[in-house]
Amino acid sequence: MVYLDYNSTTPIDERVLEEMIKVYKNIAGNADSRTHIFGDEARKVVEKARSDVAALLNINKDEVFFTSGATESNNTAIQGLKEYADKTDRKHIITSSIEHKAILEICKAMEKNGFEISYVNPQIDGRILFDDVKKLIRDDMLIVSIMHVNNETGIIQPVKEIGDYLADKEVFFHIDATQSFGKLVDELKEIKYDMLSMSAHKINGPQGIGALILRKKRYKLPPVKGIMYGGQQEHRIRPGTIPVALVAGLGSACSFALLEYKANLEKCEAIKKVLLDELETTNIEYEINGNPEYCVPNTLNICFNGVSSEALMISTKQYCGISNGSACNSRSYKPSYVLLAMGLPVERIENSVRISWGAKSNVKEVKDSFIKLLTVAQRLKL
Ligand code: PMP
């Protein structure tokens, strides 16, 4: 059985796990205890990991704040600016209709609290247009929040252009980089963002840890306040005892990503080529969702005409693990809101699946399971 749902989560890297076990076995202290060596040792581990995260993004380590993952980072980035918004009367937020629920649901809640949200729709190719964002910019802007890479389609959004445009404006630019962090390493270094969210488990790190990045402007952090009350950890942006081994796992995953991202991209690209070659040789009718030119190398969102995605997923369960959308919504049978926003017909959406892999996927295994999937799809075709 081959795992092909890497955009949902990735298997932990053995080397990362070893590092975490070492920490679990040897570090007893709380990283915020200042009165003994046990605390100092834990703090060293945490600060080393903070440097590893910072190095991957080419930023300063005091701009890294550990959270439980991208959902919490997104919540803190947006809800954490409420106090500032009240003080300055800036209550307009721009986002897109294809964001993860961990942005859309926050925006819905903010709307109930008197904020105005503008949603930018994508084109049929899965990309939003920079001009559509630009048109919405006003004087009372608080945040522009746009994802770097869409989790369902793998389509890269124009965050570089948006960041360049917003750089000298009085607005905070947040990017949800959950699907690009540790992968599109060179691109991320070039983007002018104020806030960035990520999760370790998308880059072969542990689940339950991530970071919110807050970039300093003229030596000052964005005025984000923690959304929970508690201790003074992470400068109050994220109170609560720092999970030292998880943080070490995130740091370790980042240092491997920095060393290996170029080779990883090439391996993912090679797998995509194998899958596309297979598609060409079968006579099954298919359509790729999203413009392949803007797609990351580890994702394929594909419609097999006349083949229900639910039937295909169930019938291929013993060969591979694929999905038809984000795991966070996979309990609902509603057609993907991302593909709907792109303007694809419902029937096409109902016949679409997402296949996603990683650099550690075995090319031959992926190829063999994909061939089986194509055979099943042919059999299921109405
Ligand atoms: N944003 C995006 C784009 C994602 O893909 C995900 C994970 N599917 C999240 C946010 C949420 O990440 P987590 O579940 O790790 O909090």
- DSSP assignments along 114-182, one per residue: T-EEEEEPP-TTS---HHHHHHH--TTEEEEEEESB-TTT-BBP-HHHHHHHHTTSSSEEEEE-TTTTT
Torsion-angle region of 59 (φ positive above 0: left; ψ -120 to 50: alpha; else: beta): beta
- Whether the model clears a pTM of 0.85, i.e. scores above it, the answer is yes
pLDDT of residue 198: 98
Q: Does the active-site annotation cover 320?
A: no
The one-letter code for the residue type at 209 is I
pLDDT of residue 330: 60
pLDDT of residue 78: 98
Q: Whose CA is nearest to atom 4 of ligand 1?
A: 178
Pick out the chain residues at pLDDT < 70. 326-332, 382
205/254 Cα distance (integer angstroms): 8
pLDDT of residue 328: 62
380/382 Cα distance (integer angstroms): 6
Dist. CA 166 → ligand 1 center (Å): 24
Q: How far is CA 267 from the centre of its chain?
A: 20
- 319 CB neighbour count, 10 Å cutoff: 19
Q: Which atom of ligand 1 is nearest to the CA of 199?
A: 15
pLDDT of residue 333: 73
- Alpha-carbon torsion angle 178, 13, 366, 183, nearest 10: 30
Structure tokens at 21: 């076990």
Q: Spell out the residues 6+ positions from residue 107 whose beta carbon is closer than 8 angstroms to its own.
A: 78, 93, 95, 99, 115, 117, 145
Q: Spell out the residues 6+ positions from residue 284 whose beta carbon is closer than 8 angstroms to its own.
A: 304, 374, 377, 378, 381
pLDDT of residue 289: 98
Q: Which atom of ligand 1 is nearest to the CA of 327?
A: 8
Dist. CA 206 → ligand 1 center (Å): 13
Dist. CA 215 → ligand 1 center (Å): 21
Dist. CA 88 → ligand 1 center (Å): 30
pLDDT of residue 334: 86
Q: Are 2 and 365 in contact (CB under 8 A)?
A: yes
Tens digits of per-residue pLDDT, 70-105? Answer: 999 999 999 999 999 999 999 999 999 999 999 999
Nearest to 327 by CA among 8, 88, 40: 8
Name residues contacting ligand 1 (CB within 6 A).
Answer: 69-71, 100, 102, 147, 151, 176, 178-179, 199, 201, 326, 328
pLDDT of residue 326: 62
